[in-house]
Structure 1
Amino acid sequence: MDASPGNIAKSDISSFFSIANRVDQSRERLASAIIFPHPEMPKVSFTNSELRDVISYIMSLREKK
C-alpha cells in the first residue's frame, strides 16, 4: 500500500478512526484483535510496550463525547 499523503485505503478496510469509535471498543478488545488477528491478516509480533503504544494511538482517535 502506498502511504503517500492523500492515498486512501481500500473501502473494505476499517480505518483506525472507525475502529477507535466502535461503540463496544476497548483497549482489551483491541489487544485481542492484534494478538489474535483474523486469518487473512499476517502474523505480527509486538513487544508489550509496542502493543500498548499502538492501542494508545488508536484509542486517542476516539471522538470526545
Structure 2
Amino acid sequence: MQSEAILEFAQVCPSEWNINIETSLNVPLEQLEPLLTGRFSFIIDMKAMQPDIYKQYRAG
C-alpha cells in the first residue's frame, strides 16, 4: 500500500470527497494507520487469513 502517495493525492482532492481504497490489507499496521480517518473507506479483498496460504495464492 502506498500510504504516502494516497495521502498526497487526498491533499489535492476536494475535502468533501470520500476516497475509496481497494486492498487485501496484507500490509504492516504502520502503513494503514495514517489512512484511518473518516476520509477513507476500504474495499477489502480477503484472499486468505493464513500467511502461508496467502503467499501461495499471490505466487501464482
Compute the TM-score of the two structures, normalised by the length of structure 2: 0.26
Larger Rg, first or second structure (1 or 2): 2
Compute the TM-score of the two structures, normalised by the length of structure 1: 0.25
Q: Higher relative contact order at CA 8 Å, sep ≥6: structure 1 or structure 2?
A: 1
The structure where strand makes up a greater share of residues is 2
